[in-house]
Structure formats: C-alpha cells, structure tokens
Chain A
Amino acid sequence: MPDLFTSGFLTALVVGGLVAGVPLLFAGLGEIIAEASGVLNVGLEGMMLAGAFIGFVATLLTQNVWFGLAAGAVAGLLLSLVMVLFCIRLGLDQIVVGVAIVLTVEGATAVLHATLYGESYPRLDAAPRFAIPFLSDLPVLGGSLFTQPVIVYLGFILVGVVAWVLRSTSVGLHLRAAGEQPASLDAAGVDVVRIRSVAEMVCGALAGLGGAYLAIVGAGTFVPFVTNGMGFIAIVIAMLARGRAWWSVIGAFLFGMSLSLTTALQLVGIDVPVDVVQMLPFVSVIVVLVIFARDARLPSALGLPYLRGSR
C-alpha cells in the first residue's frame, strides 16, 4: 500500500486542485450572479469556449498573458450580448438560446482552430508566477500554494468582492430582487431589464475569463472542446450556491481536486484510466446533487423573461 500522505501527494492534490479549479471559479461566480438576477445562462459553456479560443489567439499574437485574459473576457462579454438581446430584452427562451450559443461556438472555434492552427498547433510559454512574500516560505504547501499566477489571487479577491456586493449593497439587493420578484423591483422604480443585462454581461465576461485562464494558464494551448462540460458544472455549482458567492470557491476546489486526484495518485504509483478521470468531476457532482437535492434551489423568477405589461 503506497503512502498517500506524503507531501508530494498532498501538494499535487491541493495545489493541483486549486489551479485546475480556477476556470470554474470564475465561471461559477458569473453564473451565480446571473442566476441570482433570474437569468439561466445555459450558454455558459459556449462563453467559456469562446474566451478560451480568443484568449489563446490574443496571447499568441501579443505574447502578453494579461492581454489574452482580457481578450477572453471581452469575447465572453460580447457573446453574452446575444443573451441580453434575445432573452432579456426580447424575452425569448433562455434554454434554447443557450443551447444555440453552445452549438455555434463549439462549431465556430473548431473550424477556426482548424483553419488557423490546424497544422502548426502552437503552444504558449508558461504564465509568469508571483510568490507572495512570507506566505510562500511556509513549510509543506506554502511554496507551491502561494506561488501562483497573479490572476489566481485576483480570482479569490473577486469572490470576496462579489460576495460583499450581493449581500451588502443596494446593487446586490436589486440583483436578488430581479431574480425573486421582478415585478416588485419594477414597482420600486428599478429597471429589471437593465439589472439583468448587467448581471448577464458580468457573467459572460467572467466565463470568458475562466475559459481564457483554462487555455492560457492551464493548458498553454487551445484544443477544440477544451472546456469539456465545465460550463455545465458551473451551472450546477450556481444552483447549489443559492446566491452565496463563496460556494464558487468550494465547488471549484472540489472539482479541481477530482481532476488533480489522478496526477496525485500517479505520483504515488497508482494508475487511473483517463476515462475515470474525466468522469470523476461529473460523478462527484451527481453524488453531491443526490445528497443535497433538497437544498438546491433556484430563484423563483429564474428562466422567466420579465416583460413589463405582460402576464
């Protein structure tokens, strides 16, 4: 029986889980915001994929990680404008439009990748890392845990900011009201459509950022369908989070751990088939859903368009 509790195993598991979960942290956080405001963004997977592709291309062209991440966020934001126009402004079905976004982006990125990089398959340099003074000197996990690309730290700070905005500001209150009782919010003189549009755009930008991270920092390259269902997991995380932003950290970390478990197990000499690895996150999500089914809750106006004067 190999020793599971060596520092190498722990480092691979915890740090690997953290890094692998960051794309999901951003996307989940975005979806939490969108769902709180009453928009179910099924197109999240497509927005992540678009962010991954555009972010990768931008980094390749400029050789600047920050520019790539920003480009990915912009790509996600532009795609979210489709949802804003069709679903929030015109009140069309959010699920159908979401599925359409996923299909279109999957096709478009695969075709563009094949035409642009089908022969060269370029790779990016490793993203620069930043060691937090003192913390990175801590024994066992300190060195690897606190020496990460800056965007990782920013992600965690962002979670805190979003949690605060949702809980303690009037913007957060309006956002939650738009998801629970849009008519009341409208009666109180707040523009529901505007609140939801902003929430959806933030969600798109965060999903694009998460996708860009996946391609630029995580994989160092873009392959078609790289998100592999991550966007849908983010939706589950948002469902379980019930508007609590901190849950995106927990969900992303658990997801990342189930991905990094393989690498960690390989380090101590246990080989796991690749199919098991790819299934594991989804299995854990299903198990979590079965256990916490009664706790999963969606805002009461989720998925329903708000058009003033109708119904």
Chain B
Amino acid sequence: MTSPLTSPEAVVDVAPPTTRGAGLGDALVRSLGPIALALITCGALLAIVGRDPFAFYSDILQAGLLRPSGLQDSITRMAPILLVAAGMIVAFRAGMWNLGSDGQYLLAAACVAGTAPSVLAAVPAPLGWLVLGLVGMVVGASWTIVPAWLRARYGLNEIVTTLMMSFVGSGLANLLVKGPFDGPSTVPQTAVVDPSLLLFDLPGTRIHIGVIVALIAVATIYWVFSRTSFGMRIDVLGANARAAQHVGIRVSRLIIVTFLLSGALMGLAAAVDMLGIFGYMRADWNPAYGLKVVPLVFLARLNALAVIPFAAFFSVLSIGGEYAARRAQLPSDFLLLVIGLVLTFMVVTQYLTDKRDRGEPILPRRKAGMARA
C-alpha cells in the first residue's frame, strides 16, 4: 500500500521559475513576505503581553548580528541548522517526511559526547574528529531504520513513526548520559572534552570549522540534486512514487537510502555541535532544532543553497532571541511562536501567489459562483 498523503515536495514548487525576472521578485515575496508578516504579528502579540516590541527586536538585532561576539555566535549556530536542513531536504525531496530529527540528533549527540573524551585521548585530534563524526552519522542514520523500513515495506506513514522514534531517541539519549556516559561531575552530564581538543576556530574568530563542514555538506547536497542521477532518482521518487517504480527505480531501496542519508546528516549536525561548541552533553538538554527548521527548508523551496540565507536569519533570531527573551522576561520558546507563524504565513502567501499566477482573483470565490455539476 502506498501512502496517499501528499509529499513534502508537493508543498512547494521545486521546479525553477520560467521567467527569470518575475521569478526573482516572486521568490522574494514568497520568502520575505511570510517572515515580515510573522514578525509584525509577533510584535503585536508582544505589545499585548506588555513588552515593547521595538526594544525586543532591536535586542535581537544587537545581540544576534551587530555585536561582534553575537555575530560570531550566530555564524557558529548556522552549522547545526544547515546540517539539519540538509538532512530534511534530502528526505523531503524524496517525499519522505522525516520529522524525527530531534531524536536522531540527540542520540547522536549523546554517543559522540560520551565517547569523545576517550577517542580524543587515544588518537590525534583530527583523526578523532573524523571517527566521532562517523559515530554521529552512523547513530543518526540508525535511528531512521525502523521508520524507513516500515515505510518501504508496508507504506506505513513515516510522519508518525519518525516522531515516535524521536521521543524514544531523546529518552534513550538521556538514559545514556545519566548512565554509561555519565562523567565525573555531580550533575548528570558526560565528561568534558579538553577545549584544546575541540574543532579548530577560524583564524581570529570563535567560529569553529564545523561551519565550513556544514557549508560543504549543503553545497554537496545541492550538487547531488542538480548534477547527479542519484539526486534525479530521489526527485522522481518525491514527485511520484508510482512513476519512479515504472521507470525502474528500486523504490524501497531508495526510500531506505534517503532516510539513512537524512539521519546521517542529523547525526553530523550533533557531532559538529558537540565537538565544536560544547565538548560535553548534559542530561535533558535539547535544542529541538527539528520542527523549527521545517519552515526554513520550505521557504528555501527545498533548494540546499537557498537555505543558507534562511539559516542565517534563523541563527540571528535564535541567538539574539535568547538574549531578547531573557531581557523581556519571556521564555525563549517565544521563537517557536515566530517560526510557527512564519510557516502559517508561508502557506498563505504561497496560496495567494499561486492563485495570482493562474490569473484567478485573490479572494476565494463565493459559493454562488461555483456552478453545481
């Protein structure tokens, strides 16, 4: 049985626009419009709960972009965001909703942080990073096997299975950090890696080379989808699984491969975070990139290069937002509200521009206008 659900690829129009000029203007409206609308709405909500929206947003800009340290933090934050986004793009273009990235990320983070001290003590740091990066990728990929197999073998909807596995994964990550990987400190956390063994910083900055790794990964994914037959096969699968079967693509195998690749990228995101910034993992820590990155990849229309500016925007928002929320005495979950609204307005904008492209009136037709068959 194939799942009748729409695929993520159907949500956005992945094909390049026909006329270049109109396409660019359209792309700007479709991507910046929702962000602007969401920020305005959230500003109104801030005013309602008695906070000054202008101060809030200027705090975000100050702390996330204008201060040199904030800018460096924001660029550093882009590393995991880009890798998670790349993982989502791979899955989404295949028509697979891998929404379980949080579990894949956390489990990989726990395994990387847990083994990092001994691995880095045993081998030279660069080799250790490679090994630990692989550990993260293998663990992340392994956590997609069950959903991928259920989807490939039985056509079982992957949204719920990846989500279920995500909850199990974050629980398991906590158990690992509190149990076998618990370090010498009194709080449940893994042993801290010596800062000198963490990923190099770019000269003169606090930005670690994980950002370069992430950019290379994103560029590679872009290349895979624009230049290779493997990427083409994934796109065909995403557009129409039945058609893919007919042209001789081994659909089940491709589903599993894309899931593994997607999970591996989530795991790499975790490894980069652990080896680049933290050097340890604390129990119950969860950056929960998962659902928050979904709007970014849709705004980028599943284009791996186009996701870079959106990842930059999100990084500034999240680094600056943490500071602004603290100053305004609000929880940093405020960010969820912004991102949720971005997604909502994105769908609406997409609907309206599509309608305009077809030459239909923007407002929904009234019932009387619909002739009964």
Contact = CB atoms under 8 A, between A and B. Distances in A.
Nearest to A273: B175
Contact of B344 (A100, A118, A235): A100
Interface stretch (B129-137, B148-156, B197-205, B249-257): B148-156
Contact of B160 (A92, A224, A239, A304): A239
Given A93-B347, A102-B340, A103-B291, A290 B5 contact: no
B336 A278 contact: no
A293 B343 contact: no
Interface string A82-96: 100010011011111
B257 to A, nearest CB: 20
B195 interface: no
B340 A279 contact: no
Contacts of A300: 4
B6 A105 contact: no
Nearest to A236: B160
Given A96-B298, A99-B294, A275 B343 contact: no
Interface stretch (B18-26, B259-267, B327-335): B327-335
B11 A93 contact: yes
A302 B150 contact: no
Given A235-B160, A298-B157, A111 B331 contact: yes
A279 B172 contact: yes
Contact of B6 (A94, A229, A275, A293): A94
Interface string A278-311: 1100110110011001101111111110001100
Contacts of B334: 107, 110-111
A296 B154 contact: yes
* Main DSSP-derived SS at the B contact region: helix
Contacts of B163: 229, 232
Nearest to A224: B333
Contacts, number: 170
Contacts of A278: 167, 171
Contacts of A294: 154
A106 B339 CA distance: 11
Nearest to B352: A90
Interface string B161-173: 1011101100110
A275 B107 CA distance: 13
Of B160, B165, B337, B351, which is in contact with the most chain A CB atoms at under 10 Å from its CB?
Answer: B160
A286 B256 CA distance: 18
Given A95-B5, A111-B333, A115-B50, A293 B153 contact: yes
B171 A275 contact: yes
Interface of B: 1, 3-6, 8, 10-11, 45, 49-50, 97, 99, 146, 150, 153-154, 156-157, 159-161, 163-165, 167-168, 171-172, 174-175, 178, 291-292, 294-295, 298, 329-331, 333-341, 343-344, 346-348, 350-351, 364, 370, 373
Given A99-B99, A293-B154, A296-B157, 15 more contacts: A40-B5, A96-B343, A100-B343, A101-B340, A105-B340, A106-B333, A107-B338, A114-B331, A118-B329, A232-B163, A236-B164, A239-B160, A275-B172, A304-B5, A308-B370
29 contacts: A86-B351, A90-B351, A90-B364, A95-B5, A96-B294, A99-B291, A101-B340, A103-B292, A104-B336, A104-B337, A107-B333, A107-B337, A107-B339, A110-B331, A228-B167, A232-B160, A232-B167, A236-B160, A275-B171, A278-B167, A279-B167, A279-B172, A282-B164, A282-B165, A282-B167, A289-B156, A293-B150, A296-B157, A308-B373
Closest 10 CB pairs between A and B? A107-B337, A104-B340, A103-B340, A107-B336, A279-B171, A110-B333, A100-B343, A303-B5, A293-B154, A282-B167
